[in-house]
């Protein structure tokens, strides 16, 4: 199976958050790979990796990092493929630092920022699928079905009040 | 020309910011259309519009709004196509309100949030092009060339210090 | 009993917070109904529901949501009845995101924003009662009595210092 | 004409912001009165005024203040009628201080907080009308028509791009 | 013993924080009294109390409240004696709301704001003593001695590193 | 005339803000002196000055500084007389930095923090007068009269709406 | 062994955070000493200490404090040696107060601010070593090796997904 | 003259802020060079440049960037020489985004963060000189003299009040 999505994390501890994205991609049976690479601690390996993946078939990047979260921006600097950023919650500033470091990119180098934490991780995977869906109608159909299931689940809720 | 991108603004005054996106899409000769539609003031028209555009060929939405910026999220609620959000700077809170209203989407309905204001508007267009680029290699080539031009411009700078 | 108040939550998990509002409305013997409906996950059902309730006698909406909390604003978009918003505390940003997404509504479509979390939930119910009180003097009398009881409780406090 | 709405400002300089509310109430031909009274500078007059207005027919209060904006909360302390708060933009903190001082009311004493500044002022008037509308169907009809006009205006916009 | 200091809390739960102030005043053997009175829930009792205390000998007020913390400002509105405010930590916004509601007083009615929480409570007591010290040299001497003890304690610290 | 109040500014540019305090003290005919001394740029002179003033009769300090505003805290470190802090508005963070640097003092060394900017400056002077008033009844009488005048001015306002 | 680095903490409780810095300096076998001294509680001892250390060979200061964290700035006021500041996480504001109090120094007196908490503590030590490295090539070599080890550790990570 | 300091800016527009640093280094007659290089727009050139400069004699880096300011962190990733970061004020968030993106570096890769804007730029130069001063006593002497001059200027101020 081709690896259409590359998930990069700045630190091993981000896996807990990113598991949401991994599980969703598995469920959709879309090929992906996961790497721990840091814009600050392994800059050369990161650059080399980003430049190497197009031949593997990678079409979208998902980058998760916390604090001075340079990862997504630096990946975006090395590719013209879409880069999605997930701000990891941090101990003191609760991910506000991660969020601003990811979302406030300068004109010219976009990063698609998701919500802080797990919701953002899951949405990164869905957004990656939406992107892949523009050239693979079968993914789009699955997304529409996934969305209907989600809505149906809400409609079935019986509150005990 | 098919309209691959739909730009929706919550208010006419957002055009000043979004002109950056419009100019870039023109430069790349990618078809697009621009609408003023509000999640709060024209909710029915907005829903109807979002559901109608796939047949026009729209593949990506760019939604700009300020304050309690529900627009991008509501558009995302009605489509499985990628939705990019641009937080408009607001008078009092300077777009921090717009940013949080756009980026903090719940799990299941992603919006790709860009930076506040003009940089975000321009990046929304580039990001839309990156998405279109995954099925149209010619856009991807133009993006790579645009990026090289940008880098070359920086390298030519002569500072007077 | 007519259902004068409609409580809508964006997610089932908001019930824990909104129980405060439910208990108060029960205590005042004012008819109400509670729904889980999401501006992002069930947009069509939400719109249909909001438009359907006037015939049930609903006079006031209470909408609770967290994060990019579009719910109250979208309900307000579909009605001219008063809409009260309750920002739910979120994991990372502690409800500041919910608060700004609810309170910073654009001119034309008001939402009455309460405090973040349980105090806001309880106050939403009291505020709904105050609104109903302008055409039902008996509710007003009960509110005044409820307020006196609250004050009396404070006056009876004996501190051990 | 009875005075159904009482607008109270903490300072004369708030009039610039509150003119939006005044103009809207005039347009709807709903009786109102406007006072400058401060929770900090004229506490006794404020309390006396709030207790005196029910006999004039006042059904809703709109309170505008900036900074440590205690006005709306103190008015709410003296009445069981609905109190709407408008956070005035401040020089340094841009109204974030006013917003938190108004919205974060303790359980038991609700204030309906609007957006910071002019949008909030206008929405305070609309919200007051929505409240009055629950016992005066003619106001409700006018609100629905006002909303349609607003939507129609948006639909007529022709962008020059 | 005369009651030179009046400590007022907006809620019984604030006692946990204010115990720091109480303990310090006891240690200095300065007379004080403690009341639970709320600007929002018992406004009349609060006003009456503030106006009544000068004859008891109260020279300084310490007011603790959280959220839309109007208490200190409303006390200051009714007296020309110094009022010290202690922002109580809140569940969601961690006392930033309390802080801004207390410190951002309008020109004319000062409140002396301390730090959020226990440090603020203790400092409120010390500051009250500093004020009393300007007419009672014995308090001033005790304060100087208390400060030397504090410094001596720091100097005796042996770190195990 | 004895100098009961010492006003210290961290920078000459703070005078514009502090003029409010100066004017008020002049109006009350209370002796004061004004110094430019910095906790960061003239630490030795500052310490020496603070220790020297008691013999001049200084009873209260007013300290104004912006940014990492250590001035008031450092003055408080060297005295047991009451220290009032005025956070100066800063260019980028608008005085939020100054406010937190002044108000968040550790237990043991209180600083009485006022509002950011001119309102804070004026209130610092009034608060200093309130402190002096506890041993000089004539100041207290003037303060009460000043407050009545302020209230009267508000009551005389005629709005043109 | 000469003491090239002086670590100063505002409070004994800061040791928990600063242990990271201590451990790293030990590992690099660079001489250092650790003091608890407070800008607010022991200002004279602090000033005397800072002026005394150059003769011990101290070349860099690391200063950790929380809240109104004046420590690093006051140390910088008394020396022309490099001062590194570590913002300690605080209970209510999570170190945002400490951060702004340390980083927003006025022109003329720099403090090198690190991240809030443990990451900042560790980085303070590394940065101190980088400074010492400019005159001691052996430290520089060890730093480069430490960095390679860190990168190698990341590259060896095997994720279980 | 050797180039001991390298100043890197993410954008040409940052020169206005950084002129403060340039002027100071000129005044101290310390060799330096200034580059416009971006972590996002010219990542390869940036990496190559950072690795090339040690042979020119560069001992300290000063990096200025705004928004998602990855520059300083990425430079630090490629060197073990000290890196100083200057957060540039941004249009919407006023440099709070730049500040958090620079200061919240992960453990292992320190950046010495200065204040937002011009004060930070000037202090970056002084801090660079302090670092150089640890192996060049003449710089240290000049710094001490510069500091005395600054203090003397403050002491000569005559206020007109």
pLDDT tens per residue across span H60-108: 999 999 999 999 999 999 999 999 999 999 999 999 999 999 999 999 9
Q: Which of D92, D94, D96 to mutate to test the interface with F (most CBs of F within 10 A)?
A: D92
Section C125-146 average pLDDT:
97
**Using CB atoms, which residue from E15, E38, E93 is nearest to C154?**
E38
Half-sphere exposure of G62 (CA within 13 A, CB side): 34
Higher pLDDT, E105 or E55: E105
Q: Which residues touch A11 (CB under 8 Å, ≥6 apart)?
A: A36, A38, A65, A66, H106
D96, D151, D152, D156: which to substitute to probe chain B, counting the most B Cβ within 10 Å?
D151
pLDDT band per the 50, 70, 90 thresholds, residue H2:
confident
Report DSSP state, residue D84. Answer: E
Tens digit of each residue's pLDDT (9 = 90 or more) over C15-25: 999 999 999 99
- pLDDT reported for residue F1: 61
* Listed residue (E3, D81, C109) closest to B68, CA to CA: C109
CA angle A121, A125, A130 (to 5 degrees): 140
| Chains touching chain C, criterion 3+ CB pairs below 8 Å | A, B, D, E
Burial G61-81 (b: 16+ CB within 10 A, else e): bbbbbbbbbbbbbbbbbbbbb
Residue G1 pLDDT > 70, yes or no? Answer: no
Question: Which chains does B contact via 3+ CB–CB distances below 8 A?
Answer: A, C, D, H
Residue in E closest to F110 by C-alpha:
E123
Helix (H) or strand (E) holding B35: strand B32-36
Q: Chain G within 8 Å of F34 (Cβ-Cβ)?
A: no
Question: What is the pLDDT, as a whole number, of residue G2?
Answer: 84
Instruction: State yes or no: chains B and E have 3 or more CB pairs below 8 A.
Output: no
Question: Rounded to 5 degrees, what angle do the CA atoms F40, H115, G3 make?
Answer: 60
Give the helix/strand (H/E) hosting E112: strand E112-113
DSSP E23-45: HHHHHTT--EEEEE--TTTSHHH
- Which two structure tokens, joined as six digits, stand for C107? 């001119």
Q: Is F124 on the interface with E (CB under 8 A)?
A: yes
CB atoms closer than 10 angstroms to residue A159? 14
Q: How far is CA A88 from the centre of its chain?
A: 11
**Which percentage of chain H shows pLDDT scores above 70?**
99
In this predicted structure, what is the pLDDT of residue E160?
87
Q: Which residue has the higher pLDDT, C30 or F1?
A: C30
How many angstroms separate the Cα of C22 from the Cα of each of C8, C46, C76, D108, G148? 11, 20, 21, 14, 59
pLDDT band for position A1 (50/70/90)? low
pLDDT band at H1 (very low <50, low <70, confident <90, very high): low
Q: Using a cut of 0.95, tell me whether the model's pTM lies above it.
A: yes
- Cα separation, E161 vs F3, in Å, equals 49
**Residue B153: helix, strand or coil by DSSP?**
helix
Other CB atoms within 10 A of residue E54 CB: 14
Of D27, D101, D102, the residue nearest D61 (C-alpha): D102
Q: Which of G126, G133, G118 is nearest to G150 (CA)?
A: G126
- Per-residue tokens: C148: 């006196």
* Lookup result for tokens 């300089």: D13
Q: Does E78 touch chain D (CB under 8 A)?
A: yes
Average the pLDDT over G115-119 and give the result.
98
Collect all residues with Cβ–Cβ distance below 8 Å to F51 and sequence separation of at least 6: F78, F79
pLDDT tens digits, one per residue of F56-98: 999 999 999 999 999 999 999 999 999 999 999 999 999 999 9
Q: Which residue has the tokens 């981000």?
A: A14
The stretch C120-134 carries a mean pLDDT of: 98
The token pair that represents E53 in the structure block: 């205390």
Is the pLDDT confidence value at B1 over 80?
no
C-alpha–C-alpha distance, residues F22 and F35, integer Å = 12
Instruction: Specify the range with the lowest mean pLDDT, choosing from B66-70, D39-43, D154-158, H129-133.
Output: D154-158
Q: Is the pLDDT of residue F21 over 80?
A: yes
The per-residue pLDDT for range G51-62, each reduced to its tens digit, is 999 889 999 999
Across the interface, whether the CB atoms of B82 and A20 are under 8 A apart is answered no
- C-alpha count within 13 angstroms, C-beta hemisphere, residue C119: 21
Q: What is the mean pLDDT of residues H3-8?
A: 97
Q: What is the pLDDT of residues E12-28, one digit of tens each?
A: 999 999 999 999 999 99
Confidence (pLDDT) at G160:
87
Q: Does D144 contact C at CB distance below 8 Å? A: yes
CA A111 to chain CA mean position, Å: 10
- For D2, other C-beta atoms within 10 Å of its C-beta total 11
Give the model confidence (pLDDT) of A104-129 as tens digits. Answer: 999 999 999 999 999 999 999 999 99
Please compute Rg for chain D using Cα positions: 16
Calculate mean pLDDT across residues D16-45.
97
Chain D residues closer than 8 Å to C123 by CB: 105, 107-111
Confidence of residue B2 (pLDDT cuts 50, 70, 90): confident
The pLDDT of residue C1 is 61
- Whether the per-residue pLDDT at D157 is higher than 70: the answer is yes
Number of residues in chain B:
161
Q: Tokens 């990341």 identify what position?
A: G154
Q: State whether B67 and C105 contact (CB < 8 Å).
A: yes
Confidence check: pLDDT of B22 > 80: yes
Give the pLDDT mean for C69-76.
Answer: 98
Q: What are the distances in angstroms from CA G64 to CA A6, C45, E25, H106?
A: 40, 55, 31, 17
Average pLDDT for chain B: 96
- Name residue G12's beta-bridge partners: none
Mutation for testing the H interface, residue in B154, B155, B156, B158 having most H CBs under 10 Å: B154
Per-residue pLDDT reduced to its tens digit, F95-133: 999 999 999 999 999 999 999 999 999 999 999 999 999
Pairing relationship of beta strands H60-65 and H5-9 according to DSSP bridges: parallel
Residue C95 Cα, gap to closest chain E Cα (Å)? 7
Inter-chain touch F108–E122, beta carbons under 8 Å = yes
Chain B residues with CB-CB distance to C74 below 8 A: 39-40, 43, 70, 74
Report the mean per-residue pLDDT for chain A: 96
Q: How does residue C160 score in pLDDT terms, banded at 50, 70 and 90?
A: confident
């Amino acid at each position: 199976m081709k690896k259409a999505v590359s998930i990069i994390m700045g630190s091993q501890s981000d896996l807990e958050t990113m598991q949401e994205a991994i599980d969703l991609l598995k469920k959709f049976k879309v090929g992906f790979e996961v790497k721990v690479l840091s814009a600050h601690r392994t800059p050369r390996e990161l650059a080399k990796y980003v430049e190497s993946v197009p031949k593997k078939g990678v079409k979208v990047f998902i980058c998760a990092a916390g604090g001075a979260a340079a990862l997504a921006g630096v990946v975006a600097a090395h590719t013209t493929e879409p880069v999605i950023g997930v701000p990891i919650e941090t101990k003191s500033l609760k991910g506000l630092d991660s969020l601003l470091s990811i979302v406030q990119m300068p004109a010219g180098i976009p990063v698609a920022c998701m919500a802080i934490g797990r919701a953002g991780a899951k949405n990164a995977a869905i957004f990656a699928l939406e992107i892949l869906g523009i050239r693979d109608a079968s993914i789009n159909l699955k997304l529409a079905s996934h969305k209907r299931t989600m809505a149906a689940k809400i409609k079935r809720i019986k509150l005990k009040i």
